[in-house]
A and B are shown apart, each in its own frame.
Chain A
Amino acid sequence: MGKLELVGAVMVLGLVIVAVFAPLLAPHDPTRAVAATYGDPGAPSLAFPMGTDQLGRDVLSRIIYGARVSLTVGVAAMAMTIAIGVVIGLVSGFFGGAVDAVLMRFTDVMLTLPALLLAMAFVAVLRPSLLSILLVIGLVSWTQVARVVRAETLSMSARDFVFAARALGASPSRLIARHVVPNVLPIIVVMAALGTSNTLLLDAALSFLGLGVPPPTPTWGRMIEEATIYFRTAPWLATFPGLAIFYAVLAFNLLGYGVLRERAQ
């Protein structure tokens, strides 16, 4: 294991711990006014290391709780992305011909559509909720996975061991499940890590645009959006939630890119 993915893995683990143990780690209730400075953002202090927001809520506690939503949406949307992408990629690469042509033209169409705009439009229509957000993110971001899995499946399906299994009378479903999938799995793992950094960014962006998981649940993206009007008087309000997103995305990028680099060498 290289240094990159090790650092990435440790960072991801840290994120998971923060999300799981949020109630134990957060010094305050993230949805309650705890500072005396109600109505004005409070500067970072010993009692509130990351300051308090305009409603007197503790920014650190909100960031800690925000990890829960981000990680849930990020991982669930990634699972959606991988599920759709793997099925389309496997079917397309394994069966080829007309099936492949139709599925790949459909992928081309999806690739030309602006993902963020499409996601915004659908979330706005379906009303923002945990479920609608992760469904929509999954639906707009599977194209890359499908293409990579298809390419990998194509090259695997042409190998001798698949021919041999076919000659022995294995059914297509058995060929896919027993011979193709295990060999495509490593690249799927890489795509899953890199995909999570993508879904995290999309989720944060939707949340920043007012289309995230609705209040009172704290989300990092909305914290930044709410902080923009205070950027002159309370710059820390936007800084810390952004650092949290940055940390989470970087963690998954290091993990995915590290594994990818190990594979290439």
Chain B
Amino acid sequence: MLAFLVRRIALCAVVLIGTSIITFAIAFVVPADPAVTMAGAKADPQTLATIRHELGLDQPVYVQYARYLDRALHGDLGRSYVRRESVTHLIASRFPATAILAVAAMLVSLILGIAMGAVAAAYRGESTDNVLLVVSLALVSMPVFWLGTMLLIAGGLYLHSFPLGGYAGPLSLVLPTLTLALGAAGYYSRILHTNLSQAMDQDYVRTARGKGLSGARAMMKHAMANAMLPLVTLAGLDLAGLLSGVVLTETVFNWPGIGRLAFEAIFNLDIPLIMGTVLFSAFLVVIANLLVDLLYAWLDPRIRLSGAA
């Protein structure tokens, strides 16, 4: 187990370094001069030179990268050029709103997806199965921002009870949560359906049915546990993706989360904030990946003994 742990963590470090290099490269692709962004277009050359020196922009690229990495490891992601605030602080202040939305959406999509997938698998090959297949493909095919807008129209115009965006109380959570959850539910239901169908053909399920268990009970008691595991893995990774900012949904509902923050950063070409949000997202995904793998290894001895990741 220890060897597996070391290997896995080393792999994480490699991926994170790669991620930080790509994130760092963003600064060099953006044509805007940070000094001009900060001091304004009318600043004199002396001021610009001073700012460049303070930011370390007069240093060679590898020195800049090393300094960037060193600061990032200490939790310092620099200062937003436009908002003049610490990027770490900005991300931390926006994170709760995104986290609430992401967790709510994940729960709803899992419940809906598992229900749809289980029902479809129970009626495998029958018309219920086919209808649910088409429904789930339809859910996956809806553009998130359009679904959000449609829910806004329905919720705000016809139901009158839902706030039209912003972050104010539990009721304001309903529409953005549904917007995020419906597509994911369609996706999860397909995956659970595939896994359940495979599990139902296994010998242990056949044995259970041979003992006299009904199809539905055999599915719930025996096949479900095995079919759920890959789904939970996937959900863990998706949650990290959701946490790192759901740009479109937050834009439609004017939700004050990390997605909006990143969106504004990109439009202002606010380099440290763009780099910070991208790096933070990637960091969450890497950590989620690691946790899921460790959980798997702990649950399944075949993985930790073979040493395969």
- Give me the interface of A with B, judged by CB distance under 8 Å: 4, 105-106, 108-114, 116-118, 120-122, 124-125, 197, 201, 204-205, 208-210, 221, 224, 227-228, 231-232, 235, 238-239, 241-242, 245-246, 249-250, 253-254, 257
* Given A121-B274, A124-B266, A235-B157, A228 contacting B15 (CB threshold 8 A): no
Bound state CA distance, A221 and B252, in angstroms? 13
Stretch at the interface among B35-43, B58-66, B97-105, B138-146: B138-146
Complex Cα gap A108–B12 (Å): 10
Q: How far is the CB of B73 from chain A (nearest CB, A)?
A: 17
- How many angstroms from the CA of A227 to the CA of B145 in the assembled complex? 12
- Among the 9-residue stretches B168-176, B213-221, B276-284, the one with 4 or more Cβ atoms under 8 Å from chain A is B276-284
Tell whether A120 pairs with B282 under 8 Å between CB atoms, given A109-B19, A232-B156, A257-B137.
Answer: no
Verify B281–A117 contact, CB threshold 8 A: yes
B269 at the interface (CB under 8 A from A): yes
Q: Which of B193-226 contact A (CB under 8 A)?
A: none
Q: Which residues B158-204 have CB closer than 8 A to chain A?
A: none
Within 8 A of A (CB), among B239-298: 241, 244-245, 247-248, 251-252, 262-263, 266-267, 269, 274, 277-278, 281-282, 285-286, 289
Of the listed stretches B22-30, B48-56, B80-88, B114-122, chain A binds B22-30
Between A and B, 5 residue pairs with Cβ closer than 8 Å are A108-B15, A111-B285, A112-B285, A205-B248, A235-B157
Identify B137's interface contact among A204, A231, A253, CB under 8 A: A253
Q: Are B141 and A197 touching (Cβ within 8 A)? A: yes
Chain B: minimal CB distance from A253 (Å): 5
Chain A residues with CB under 8 Å of B150's CB are: 238-239, 242
Is the CB–CB distance between A112 and B282 below 8 Å?
yes
> Taking A197-B141, A246-B141, A249-B141 as contacts, is the C-beta distance between A238 and B247 under 8 angstroms?
no
Determine whether B18 belongs to the interface, using a CB cutoff of 8 Å to chain A: yes
B149 within 8 A of A: yes
A113/B149 in contact, CB under 8 A = no
Which of A109, A112, A227, A232 has the most chain B CB atoms inside 10 A of its CB?
A112
Contacts of B22 in A (CB 8 A): 109-110, 113
Complex contacts, B281 vs chain A, CB 8 Å:
112-114, 117
With A122-B29, A224-B146, A253-B140 in contact, is A105–B263 under 8 Å at CB? no
- Decide: B277 and A125 in contact? CB cutoff 8 A: no
What is the CA–CA distance of A242 and B269 in the complex, to the nearest angstrom? Answer: 29
Q: What is the distance, in angstroms, from B18's C-beta to the closest C-beta of chain A?
A: 4
A113 to B25, CA, bound (A): 13
Whole-angstrom distance between the Cβ of B285 and the nearest chain A Cβ = 4
In this complex, the member of B15, B147, B152 whose beta carbon has the largest number of chain A beta carbons within 10 angstroms is B15
Contacts of A221 in B (CB 8 A): 143, 145
* In-complex Cβ contact of A121 among B26, B145, B153 (8 A): B26
The reply on B31 being an interface residue by CB < 8 A is yes
Given A124-B269, A232-B157, CB of A238 within 8 Å of CB of B149: yes
The reply to whether B18 and A125 form a contact with Cβ atoms under 8 Å apart is no
Residues of B within 8 A of A120 (CB): 247, 262-263, 266
| Docked-complex contact A201 and B143, CB < 8 angstroms | yes
Which secondary structure dominates chain A's binding surface?
helix
B137 to chain A, nearest CB (A): 5
Q: Does B14 contact A (CB under 8 A)?
A: yes
Q: A109-B15, A114-B282, A117-B281 are in contact. Are A228 and B29 (CB under 8 A)?
A: no
Question: B269 touching A125 by the CB < 8 A rule?
Answer: yes
Least distance between A150 CB and chain B CB atoms (Å): 15
Contact B143 A205 (CB under 8 A): yes
Residue of B nearest to A224 (CB): B146
Min CB distance B68 to A, Å, is 16
> Considering the complex of A and B, which 3 residue pairs feature the smallest CB-CB distances, nearest first?
A242-B146, A109-B18, A250-B141
Residues of chain B from 69 to 126 with CB closer than 8 A to chain A in the complex = none
Instruction: Select from chain A the residue with minimum beta-carbon distance to B138.
Output: A250
20 further interface pairs, Cβ-Cβ under 8 Å (given A121-B26, A125-B31): A105-B11, A112-B282, A112-B286, A113-B19, A114-B282, A117-B247, A120-B263, A125-B29, A204-B143, A205-B144, A208-B143, A209-B247, A209-B251, A209-B263, A224-B149, A238-B149, A238-B153, A239-B153, A246-B142, A249-B141
Closest beta carbon of chain A to B100's beta carbon, Å: 19
A125 touches B30 (CB 8 A): yes
Give B289's nearest chain A residue, CB to CB. A112
A122 and B138 CA atoms in complex are apart in Å by: 30
| B269: nearest chain-A partner, CB-CB | A124
Contact A246:B143 (CB < 8 A) given known A112-B286, A113-B282: yes
